[in-house]
Structure 1
Amino acid sequence: GIQQWDQEGEPLHEPEALSAFVEEMRASVPANAELHEIAEHINDAAFCAKALEIFDRWVAEGIVPPGRGHAA
């Protein structure tokens, strides 16, 4: 899911529209960008864990500088 309001039971829950959006994202993401698909909603803990996993990898790879006072 993309937002709180598109979950089942919410006013913007439209599975067909979400499916079309996801298909277009798959087709449109440029080769130099990463697309990670997980079977979780954006508000789920698994989404946050995946985002932090990617961020931590970017820090380790030097793509994102480490925060002040933290070793790389």
Structure 2
Amino acid sequence: LWSGFTPLVLHQARNPGFYDPWSARDDLTFHNPNFFGLLKAKLDYTLLMNLRCVSQSIGNHDYSASDHKWLLVEVE
């Protein structure tokens, strides 16, 4: 046990049952031209459990409000 945690604790820490309705590859939240394109990544996540995503949108495409885009989900 190099981590100091039992296999059961490590399994439970993975939060089984949560999911992110966004694509890790296509829904990038950080690709700000002010940083010369050096970093392009999905840095923000929405973790849902026992909810159904009925709509979603991404905003702040011009990065005027923050250095990240915002994520919005409507759930049932």
Scaled by the length of structure 2, the TM-score of the pair is 0.23
Flag the structure with higher strand content.
2
